[in-house]
Copies of this chain bind each other. A is one copy, B any other.
Amino acid sequence: MANRPFDLLNDAIGKEVLVVLKGNSQVRGTLQAFDVHMNLVLENAEQLENGEAKTKYGKLMVRGDSVILINP
Where the two chains meet, the residues of A that have a C-beta atom closer than 8 Å to any C-beta of B are: 1-9, 18, 21-25, 27, 32-35, 38-41, 45, 47, 57-72
A13: nearest chain-B partner, CB-CB: B3
- Chain B residue contacts of A24, Cβ below 8 A: 23
Give Cα distance in the complex from A53 to B69, angstroms.
16
Copies in the complex: 7
B-chain residues with CB within 8 Å of residue A8 when the two chains form the complex: 33, 41, 59, 61
Q: Please give me the residue from chain B that is nearest to A32 by CB atom.
A: B2
Of B18, B59, B67, which one neighbours A63 at CB under 8 angstroms? B67
Contact A3 B63 (CB under 8 A): no
Selected from B27, B60, B63, B72, the residue in CB contact (under 8 A) with A38 is B63
